[in-house]
Structure 1
Amino acid sequence: MKSEKGLETLFVEGLKDLYYAEKKILKTLPKLAKAAESEQVSAAFEKHRMETERQVERLEQVFEQLGKPARGKTCPAIDGILEEGSEVLEEYKGAPALDAGLVGAAQAVEHYEIARYGTLIGFGHRCDWYHRIGWLFYMEVGLHRYSHRSTMRLRTSTGAAC
Structure 2
Amino acid sequence: MALQNGEITDLNALFVHTLRDIYYAEKQIEKALPKMIDKVSAEPLREAFRSHLEETHEHVARLEKVFDLIGTEAKGVDCPAIDGIIEEAEELSGDVGTSEVTDAALAAAAQAVEHYEISRYGSLICWAKQLGESNSADVLKKTLSEEKAADDKLNDLAKDQLNAAAA
TM superposition score normalised by structure 2: 0.91
| Corresponding residue for residue 155 of structure 2 | 152
Aligned sequence identity (%): 39
The equivalences for 1:4-153 within 5 A come to 5-92=9-96, 94-128=98-132, 130-153=133-156
Q: 1:143, 1:55 → 2: CA distance?
A: 9
1:136 and 1:93, CA in 2 relative to 1: closer, same or farther beyond 3 A?
Answer: farther
Give 5+ residue unaligned stretches, structure 1.
none
- Provide the aligned C-alpha RMSD in A: 1.6
Q: 1:80, 1:101 → 2: CA distance?
A: 15
CA contact (8 A) 2:11 2:127 kept: yes
Q: Which aligned segments of 4 or more residues in structure 1 are displaced greater than 2 angstroms?
A: 1-4, 93-96, 159-162
CA contact (8 A) 2:8 2:14 kept: no
Give 5+ residue unaligned stretches, structure 2.
none
CA contact (8 A) 2:27 2:60 kept: yes
Question: Once the two structures are superposed, what CA deviation does each residue of 1:40-67 show, in whole Å capped at 9, x if it has no partner?
Answer: 1111111110000000000000001111
TM superposition score normalised by structure 1: 0.93
